[in-house]
Amino acid sequence: MKYRTTAAAAFAVAALGFGGAASAQWPERPITLIVPFPAGGGTDTFARPLAQQLTTQLGQTVVIDNKGGAGGTVGAGVAAKARPDGYTFFMGGAHHALAPSLYKNLNYDIQKDFVPVALVAQPPQVIVINSAKLPVKTVQELIDYAKKRPGEINFGTAGKGSTHHLAGELFAMQTGIKLVDVPYQGAGPMLSALIGGQVDLAFDGLGSSAGHIRAGSIKPLAVAAPERSPSLPDVPTAAEAGVPNYVVSTWYAIWAPAGTPKEAVDKMSAEITKALNAPKIKETWTGNGSAVPTLTGAEFGKFVDSEVDRWAKVVKDSGVKLD
């Protein structure tokens, strides 16, 4: 398993007085949850209700701190350098498993600078369009329309190197079309641009798109999952729509900075498991098209390792490069 804290790092943490055992009364003050995207995006969609539930359970406020930029890597860098005292956690996701293959000079290592706490949500990706800009009703119509207009159709992303970006590039590669990516500082701004007609379509996590789909602001063409989503039973899978190998799921999870006391990590992991089984959270997750995961601790760490390897292959095969 690749997750580890080196002896030197552990010594440095102890020498600074940042580590050590957590208080038996942990938490004794508010907890900060760093979210590396602006408010309104997919990560935020799951982070806020989870933070509210954890606040109720822990008796201390869990405060969301949005730090967007560079496909989620800015906030991850801030979180990696946060004081590891059990009062700062980080909520990232699939974006951070693909970042190592895209960015040459990351100032953090998702597999070394963090302790895996728990996987918290796994909504599928969904292909959504602004129907006022794209006169198509199906995926096949989208493909035919784009083939007649190579390079004229654009898609919004939550930033260069985000899952939205890679999902769009993968779709273009598999269908033989040419699309132009338009990066935004998170899924929230991207969705605003899609609704406003600044971009034609997006490959978004269902968690952030679900409410806009229900409101009729954007139109779903397919979910990139093996099975239809219970929250969108009338929307076909990509395979049903004619793109058999297009399966892209996103996921969101919580880590702690390396050196965080084990007692705090273990308790937070247990509280997250409890929170995910709360009726209100289950209802919210279902509405956002997500299953309730059960991976925590070391098993979640193994999952992250496998995702880093999987996305490295996708990046290589698609030829995506960042400037």
- Predicted pLDDT of residue 8: 38
Which pLDDT belongs to residue 318? 74
Residue 250, pLDDT score: 83
The CATH homologous superfamily to which domain 31-122+251-318 belongs is Bordetella uptake gene, domain 1 (3.40.190.150)
d(C-alpha 313, C-alpha 319), whole Å: 10
| Helix orientation angle between 297-318 and 262-276, rounded to the nearest 10 degrees | 80
Predicted confidence band at 314 (pLDDT cuts at 50, 70, 90)? confident
Mean per-residue pLDDT of the chain: 89
φ/ψ of 236, rounded to 5, equals -70, 160
Across 155-169, average pLDDT: 88
* Domain boundaries 125-241, corresponding CATH code: 3.40.190.10
Q: Is 247 exposed, middle or buried (0-12, 13-18, 19+ CB in 10 A)?
A: middle
Q: Give the model confidence (pLDDT) of 99-148 as tens digits.
A: 999 888 899 999 999 999 999 998 889 999 999 999 999 999 999 999 99
- Please tell me the predicted confidence (pLDDT) of residue 124: 87
Average pLDDT over residues 187-208: 93
Rounded distance between C-alpha atoms, residue 6 and residue 4, angstroms: 6
Tokens of 278: 């709360």
Contact 278, 270 (CB under 8 A): no
Give yes or no for a contact between 182 and 154, defined as CB atoms under 8 angstroms apart: yes
CB 199 within 8 A of CB 152: no
Which is nearest to 106 in space by CA: 73, 67, 72?
73
What integer is the mean pLDDT of 158-177? 88
Q: Judging by beta carbons within 10 Å of its beta carbon (0-12, 13-18, 19+), is residue 211 exposed, middle or buried?
A: middle
User: How do residues 262-296 score in pLDDT, each as one tens digit?
Assistant: 999 999 999 999 999 999 999 999 888 888 999 99
288 three-state secondary structure? coil
The reported pTM is: 0.78
**Equal fold, 31-122+251-318 vs 125-241:** yes
% of the chain exceeding 70 in pLDDT: 93
The residues spanned by each domain of the chain are 31-122+251-318, 125-241
Question: For residue range 18-68, what is the model confidence (pLDDT) as tens digits?
Answer: 445 566 789 999 999 999 988 877 788 899 999 999 999 999 999 999 998
Q: In the chain, what's the furthest Cα-to-Cα distance?
A: 65
Residue 210 pairs in a beta bridge with none
Whether pLDDT at 217 is above 90 = yes
Is there a cis peptide before residue 30, judged by omega within 30 degrees of 0?
Answer: no
